[in-house]
Structure formats: C-alpha cells, structure tokens
Amino acid sequence: MSAEAEKIKCLIIGSGPAGYTAAIYAARAGMKPVMYMGLQPGGQLTITTEVDNYPGFPNGIKGPELMSDFYKQAHRFETDIRYGYVTAVDFTGPKHKVVVDETHTIMADAVIIATGASAKWLGLESEQRLNGFGVSACAVCDGFFYKGQDVAIVGGGDTAAEEATYLAKLCKKVYMLVRKDKLRASKAMQDRVKNTANIEMLLNHETIEIKGDKGVDGVLVKNSLTGETKTLSVTGFFVAIGHNPNTEVFKNWLELDEVGYIKNKPGSSKTNIEGVFVAGDAADKVYRQAVTAAGMGCMAALDAERYLAEKGIH
C-alpha cells in the first residue's frame, strides 16, 4: 500500500454508459473526477456489435465505437481516466477510502459506483465464439435484427419469459429452452408464454452446442429425460439465465438486495452511506439499458455535486 493516500474530490468506479455520463457531468461541474475503468473498460457495450436503440444515431452504431465516443467526451472535459480495478473499500469515515489494484489508496469526498453487471452464460465454447454474432444476452437490445426469423432463448425465469414474449412479436418462431420440467417464472408470465402461439417451449432440454461459423445457424439440444438430441434451425440464440451485479467489493458497506444489486433511495442515486452514489446496472435489475444507465449516471453526478456543495467542499 502506498505510503500516502491520494486525496480527490470525486471518484467514479466503472466505465460503462453510467460511469462516463457521470464523468461528463462531474467534470463540467468542476468536480475534477477521477475514473477507474475496471476489468472491462467500456462495460458490456464493448462486446455488443450493433447498437440500434441508443438515441441520436439514426443509422445505429457499433457498441465499441459508442463507448469510444463516450470516452472521448469524458476526456475532453479533463476527466482523469485511469486503468485499474478497485480491490477494497472502507466507508467508515466522512472521507471514503478506496484501494486500487491492492496498492494505491485514495481518499475521496464523493464516490460514484458504476460497476455494472455481467450476464450469466452457459459456459459453452461455441457461445463465447459466436457472442455478438448471433448469440446475445439482451433480447431488447438485439431482437430487432432477427425480425421474421427463428430464434432460441434459454432460461426459465421471469426475464426469460418476458424476453421470449418480446421476441415472439418480432420473430417467426421462438424456441424456449428450459433445463427443468417447469418454468420458474411467475404465474402471469407463464400464462403469457403459453398463450403466445409462436413460442414453442422445450422443457427438460439442455443446450449442447450453438452451431455456425460466422453466425448462428442452429442449436444442438438434448432432452435430459430421453437422452435424445436434435438440432433446431435458428439464426439467433439468446441467453436469459440472469445477471451478476459487480458489487462484491462493496458488500460489507452498502445495502444490497438478495442478488447483490446495490439499493438506492427511490428517485435518487443515494446509497445507505452518505457521499456514496450508484448508477447503472450495479443498481438497476429492471431496465438494464445503455440509455437508462446514462440517465442514472447524470443523476449520480448531480447528487454528488449537491452533496459536496452542502458539505462546503469546493
């Protein structure tokens, strides 16, 4: 650990749409923000190919390109953007202690957490290889590209049921692959799935392999009761088995829900610790969109600015 801690006014942890938007607002407000980009600089959008639903880009934009633009804008207002990963925090005092890469200690007046969440994956080699080329963890983001086509979605909870019915409005056919003998989704969501004519539910089915070279052209599934395998002809494969919020390092300090999402005070970005704010997918398990994360990033910067003004920190 470094001998002397670095003292800063505003620390932003994470570099997706929430973190960068917070940085833009904080920098323009003269808060001299320092941002640590974390393990996945740019967040989940850096592994997304086409982004068609972010406002202001009528022809769409590639995910990495959009995040590069976010970076440039935050950099233009002199955000101090650094590589590094937060390994420990101590939120006992009025100054918030944060350790980066186990060696560098920072004392921050305000902290904005924008560490996001990571989609859970099945762990197949083919899933990783075709990620962004027919394999997706977000039906709302990518469903549009499969209009009139046949797709498969894996999962049995509310998110999977909701995404399956969303895809059913766009796609010709939706195969819903459920590992167990029934859906875990709520009764209302189950009824919606059952009443949607173009959803075919395959219970007791496991995904063995996603087929395709430069894109998805099928999925090999196995009936766990009979051992029978078959290939479904699909061009898109959606994974909806949940997300893990990247909040482990904060669990002893911040109020988290049962899954690990940081609880924020309704209508604000405030956490249970004064001077610590949260934005984006680290708190949001409902919408999980780039545009909502950016909006929360704006809220966090404004909340942090007001907090520093109230404390007389200039």
Distance CA 277, CA 110 (A): 8
Q: Is 142 a catalytic residue?
A: yes
Q: How many CA atoms lie within 13 A of 120 on its CB side?
A: 11
Question: Cβ atoms within 10 A of the Cβ of 72, count?
Answer: 10
**Active-site residue among 52, 101, 109, 141?**
141
Question: What is the rounded CA–CA span in Å between residue 112 and residue 79?
Answer: 14
Which one from 10, 109, 138, 281 is the annotated catalytic residue? 138
In a 10 Å sphere around its CB, with 0-12 CB exposed, 13-18 middle and 19+ buried, how is residue 80 labelled? middle
Residue 45 tokens read as: 């959008």
Strands 276-278, 104-113: pairing kind: parallel
In sequence order, what are the beta bridge partners of 262?
256
Written as six digits, the tokens of 267 are: 């209508």
Q: In angstroms, how far is the first alpha carbon of the chain from the final one?
A: 28
Q: Which residue has the tokens 């909701």?
A: 162
**Distances from the Cα of 132 to the Cα of 44, 62, 87, 138, 233, angstroms:** 11, 11, 30, 11, 18
Supply φ then ψ for residue 146, to 5 degrees.
Answer: -115, 25
**Residue 141 appears among annotated catalytic residues:** yes
138 is catalytic: yes
Q: What are the backbone angles phi and psi of residue 302, rounded to the nearest 5°?
A: -65, -40
| Residue among 10, 109, 142, 150 flagged as catalytic | 142
SS3 string, 82-125, reads ECCCEEEEECCCCCEEEEECCCEEEEEEEEEECCCEEECCCCCH
Distance CA 239, CA 41 (A): 23
Q: What distance in Å separates the CA atoms of residue 96 and residue 93, rounded to the nearest whole number?
A: 6
Q: Which residues form the catalytic set?
A: 138, 141-142
